[in-house]
Structure 1
């Protein structure tokens, strides 16, 4: 089982943010997606999760479906009044 991204282009309002990217993520592997702000990291993840329509290329999830993939987006501000502790969350 693997996730395959082949020559993918993704963007917003037909303006590409990720251009012609390909990658293969094998089952059991650990992958880090790093880069500066605006490099397209979240855009690529949204495309893999099916939240963003492809402008080109293809994405194959193997035997996975979109409900089995998730990511936690980075937030620049934390709501300190959120009524739950880390222990309660875990």
Structure 2
């Protein structure tokens, strides 16, 4: 099995959250719902790295989303991309 599915360096910044953490993020305006998939461990937050800096350049995230989709297909898993990445 090959592991490199994208040339984009990325990391996972957060996954499973407690209700307390989710409440904090909603209060800070960083999340809009208390029904987040993070509460069940069915979501992760991804960040793209360019060198040692975080990048919010959208095309990088489209490439990451494609890598997630390909990895899921190769592993026989279903997945759903959120926050606009569903169609990437």
Under TM normalisation by the shorter chain, which class is it?
Answer: 0.3 to 0.5
TM-score by length of 1: 0.32
TM-score by length of 2: 0.32
Considering fraction of residues, name the structure with more strand. 1
